[in-house]
Amino acid sequence: MEVRVHRLVCLTGFMGAGKSTAAQLLARQVGWPHVDLDKRIVDATGLEIPEIFAQKGEPEFRRIEHEQLARVVGEAAELQQSRILSLGGGTTVQPQNLALLRQHRATLVWLECPVEVLLPRCAQITNRPLFRDEASFRRLYEQRLPFYQASDYRVDSNTEPLRVVEQILALGIFPKVTA
């Protein structure tokens, strides 16, 4: 009997860590579909992330985020298909999301990057509602570190996206391709 095993490899980390870019490149390399959770939220609501925060507030954003995450992992399980999933910076901080990912045996890879590097990256990009000022950014970073540290693996994302992908591939979490 053929046993089919589907896997979810999720990239987590703070805003600006390069989760979406690395996930896209990684998916191309391993030949798995890539799902970006923020993009799923935008597609499902027809609203940009800052619009959701402004019009509905953060609790409603978190509700939608959980709903979409549940859909993504549910689809992967139903189709028995593996996925590379780029999460939002706050996704694994929400206990219900972490529980869902653990229940589906997702592998969590933390893209670690110093706050000094993330600050200028995020200051230039205007679509991040949780980037208010430097002090609150640093506070949020500190608050979230323990959640990211609870990931299964850590890679250094203070480097080029291709180097990030190389580190993830070197973790040995992907099945070996045999000729």
Q: How far is the CB of 110 from ligand S3P (least distance, A)?
A: 12
Q: How far is the CB of 106 from ligand S3P (least distance, A)?
A: 17
90 touches ligand S3P by CB under 6 A = yes
Q: Which is nearer to ligand S3P, 6 or 121 (CB)?
A: 121
- Which residue from 56, 128, 138, 154 is in contact with ligand S3P, where contact means CB under 6 A? 128
User: Looking only at residues 3 through 62 of this chain, which bind ligand S3P when binding is defined by CB under 6 A?
Assistant: 15, 19, 38, 49
Using alpha carbons, select from 151, 145, 148 the residue that is nearest to residue 9: 151
113 touches ligand S3P by CB under 6 A = no
138 touches ligand S3P by CB under 6 A = no
Using alpha carbons, select from 61, 25, 1, 8 the residue that is nearest to residue 157: 25
Q: Which is nearer to ligand S3P, 105 or 139 (CB)?
A: 139
Q: Which stretch binds ligand S3P (CB under 6 A): 76-84, 97-105, 126-134, 159-167?
A: 126-134
Q: Other CB atoms closer than 10 Å to residue 40's CB: what's the count?
A: 18
Q: HSE, CB side, 13 Å, CA atoms: give it for residue 17.
A: 28
Ranges of beta strands (E only) in 42-100 are 83-86
| Cross-strand bridge partners of residue 107 | 9
**Chain CA centroid to CA 134, Å:** 23
Q: Which is nearer to ligand S3P, 44 or 79 (CB)?
A: 44
| Cross-strand bridge partners of residue 112 | 156
Distance CA 61, CA 123 (A): 22
Residues lying near ligand S3P in the complex (CB under 6 A) are found at 15, 19, 38, 49, 88-90, 128-130
